[in-house]
Structure 1
C-alpha cells in the first residue's frame, strides 16, 4: 500500500478493531511494541514533563486519558507514541508512530498512525502501512482499516471561505494560546485524527509550481520571529525539487519541503512538524500543507495545527484560506 504525499510526506492512518477493553488493549499493544525492538520498533515519550499538557492544561498525564472522560469525537482512553527505524533512516530520522485507543461496542479500536520523518519522503514504497500491519499482526488476526494516506485518495471537503488581505482582520500571532476562542483561525480544534492532533489542508495558488515553491519557502524563512523555520532532514538529504521524477499520480508533485513551528510551550525538538508538497493544477498550483503535534500525548491542539497553516497562508498570494482535508 505505497503512499505518495498524503501528509505532505508519506503517511498512513489505520484503525484496528480489538476484542478487548481499552485497558487490556493498551497493555497488550505496549507489550508488543516494546517486544519488537529487534525489528526496529520502540516506545517513546516526548515533550517536557515540566510543561503543561497541550489539551488539558494539567501536568503531563502520560498515556492514560481515562480521568478526562473524553466522549467526542471518540471516547479516547489511552494515547502513546513510538518510532520505527529502518536501516537507512533511524534514530532522529526514524518514522514517527502515534497511537490512540478508544472504546467501541465490540471492545476497543486502536488508531495507528505512521509518518515518514525525514524531509522529502513523498513516497514510502508502502513502508508506513507495512509498519502498522506488521504490528497489528502481533495483536490480532483482523486486518487494519485504512483511514487516510496508505495509498488512499484524498477525501474531498467543503470549500474554504475567502481569505482577506485586510491587515486589521489578520492575526498578529501564530499561536492559539490559552484563549483560542479569542484568536482568529483557532476555531478548528483537532482531537486525535493522527493519533496525536494534526491538520492536512490544501491552498490554491494562482502561480506556477516553481514560483509557488519560491514564495512559500521565502515566507517560511521570513516568519522566524513567529516560530516558523525551514528544515532539511535525513542523511542523505533528498532535496526539495521533485521535477526530475516526473510524477503524474496521484498528483503532479513538483516540490517537497519541511518546516517546524515553535510555540512558547513546545519548541526545538518538541516543535510541531510541518510538511509541504506543491503540485500543478489547471489554475496554477496547490500547496499541500500538513502540521502535526510532535510531542507524545497531544490528543488535542486547541486549533493550533490549522492556525499554523492558516497564518502562513495569510502571507502568501492566496485568495482563499486553506481547505482542510484531514484532521
Structure 2
C-alpha cells in the first residue's frame, strides 16, 4: 500500500505540473515543438542522429541514466518482460550496416497519452567508422496510439529535450520524419515470391525472397516504411486493408481503448503535407513475439490526383526492446498485405536500405 501511495502521489504531482517536455495544445508557443510530423510512419514519427565524441559505452550509460533521471518529465527506461533481451550488442560483433554496440528503449508520457499509449522511444548506438573513440546516437520516437497522424511536434521535441538534458551541443540530423518531406530511395526490383510461405520469417527465412530485406536499427529498432500507388478510392483502400488484417496470417486490426480515435480523417479536410483521408493501426504476431510484443503496423491513406487514386503508406516496427534486427520480418509483413492489392511496394525508409545523413 505504501508503494501504491507513493506511485499515486508521484503521478498526481507529474500531471499537475507544467511539463517542459510536452508540446501540449499550443505547440507554437513551446520551444522545440515546431517540427510537426504528419504520418511519416503511418502515425507521426521522428528519427534523428547525432555524432558524439564519447565512446559507445559512455553514450549508452548517459542515455540510460538520462531516461531514468527524467521520470518527472515523463520519460521511462524500458526493460524486463519476457523475453528480455539485453542492451549490450558487443558480444555479437555487428559490423554491417553499422558497428552497433548498444540498443535500448524508452517511453515518453504526456498528460493525455501515457502508459501503453505513451510514445515509444528507441535508441541505437554505433561506433563511428574509422574512429577508435566516438559514437553515433540514433534516436527514434513514434506516436503510439492508433490514429495519431499528427504529433504537434512532440516526437522531435522529446528527442531534442533528451539531447539537451544530455548536454549534447551538436545539431540533431534528421534521418526520417520529424516533419521533413519523405525521401525516395532507389526502387529495387521485387523478386518473385509466388511460392507459399508463412507470414513470419522463421527457420526457412533464407528461402523466402520477402524475408531478404533484413533491417538493422533504422528506427533504433528495426523497421520498414513503404508506399503503394493504387487506382482505388481511399475509402475502398481502407476497407480492403481492414479486411486483409486477418488472424489467419498473424494480423489483427487495432481499435478501441481510451481514447479511441476514429480511422476516418475526411472531416478534418487535411491538405498538407498530403490529402490524408484514413489512418489505421494493426499488429503482426509471430510464434515468439505476439500480443504486446507483436510488431506494430501503422497505415495512412491519402488521395492523389483524383477521387479514385490513392497512396497507401505502410509502416512496421519491431516492438520489443532490443530488436535491432528483424530477419526481414517488417518488410515481409508489409509485402503480404501488399499482395492484397496486387501492387508493387516503393520502399521509403528502413527495410534494409542504408540512408546517409551528414553528422555535425
Deviation at 1:162, TM superposition (A): 6.6
Larger displacement relative to structure 2 (153-162 or 127-136): 153-162
- The answer on whether the counterparts of 1:119 and 1:234 sit within 8 Å (CA) in structure 2 is no
Structure 1 Cα separation of the partners of residues 243 and 102 of structure 2 = 40
CA distance in 2, matches of 1:226, 1:301: 18
* Residue 161 of structure 1, CA deviation: 4.1
Query: How many angstroms does 1:259 deviate by?
Result: 0.3
The 2-side partners of 1:161 and 1:256 are apart by 28
Q: 1:282 to 1:129 in 2, by over 3 A?
A: same
Q: Match for residue 54 of structure 1?
A: none
Q: Does 1:258 align with 2:281?
A: yes
- Say which SS state the counterpart of residue 270 (structure 2) adopts: coil
Structure 2 distance, partners of 1:120, 1:46, is 28
Deviations 1:104-156 (A, max 9, x none): 13611110000000000100000000000000001112221111000011011
Q: Partner residue of 1:275?
A: 298
**Corresponding position of 1:292:** 317
Give the conservation status (yes or no) of the 8 Å contact 2:298–2:316: yes
- Cα distance in 1 for residues equivalent to 2:197 and 2:265: 34
Give the aligned partner of residue 235 of structure 2.
Answer: 210
Equivalent in 31, 41, 44 of residue 10 of structure 1:
44
d(CA) in 2 for partners of 1:234, 1:251? 27
Cα offset for 1:47? 5.3
- 1:229 matched to 2:229? The reply is no
Encode CA deviations 1:66-112: one digit per residue, 9 max, x unaligned: 11111111110000000000000000000000001011136111100
> 1:52 maps to which residue?
none
Partner of residue 171, structure 2: 143
Partners in 2 of 1:161 and 1:102 — Cα distance?
Answer: 30
Cα offset, 1:178, TM superposition: 2.2
For residue 326 of structure 1, the aligned residue among 349, 353, 359 is: 349
Structure 1 pair 46/211, CA: closer, same or farther in 2 (3 Å)? Answer: farther
Segment of structure 1 superposing worse, 257-266 or 136-145: 136-145
Counterpart pick for 2:141 among 90, 95, 114: 114
**Is structure 2 residue 337 aligned with structure 1 residue 312?**
yes
For the residues of structure 1 that align with 2:220 and 2:290, how far apart are their CA atoms? 20
- Aligned residue number for residue 30 of structure 1: 64
RMSD: 1.7
Tell me how far apart the structure 2 counterparts of residues 162 and 180 of structure 1 sit (CA, whole Å). Answer: 16
Deviations 1:195-219 (A, max 9, x none): 0000000011111111111111111
Please, which runs of 5 or more residues in structure 1 have no aligned partner? 50-59
Q: Distance in 2 between matches of 1:163 and 1:238?
A: 38
Instruction: Judge conservation of contact 2:102–2:124 (CA < 8 Å) in 1.
Output: yes
Q: How many angstroms does 1:157 deviate by?
A: 2.6
Equivalent pairs counted in the alignment come to 310
* Cα drift, residue 170 of structure 1: 4.5
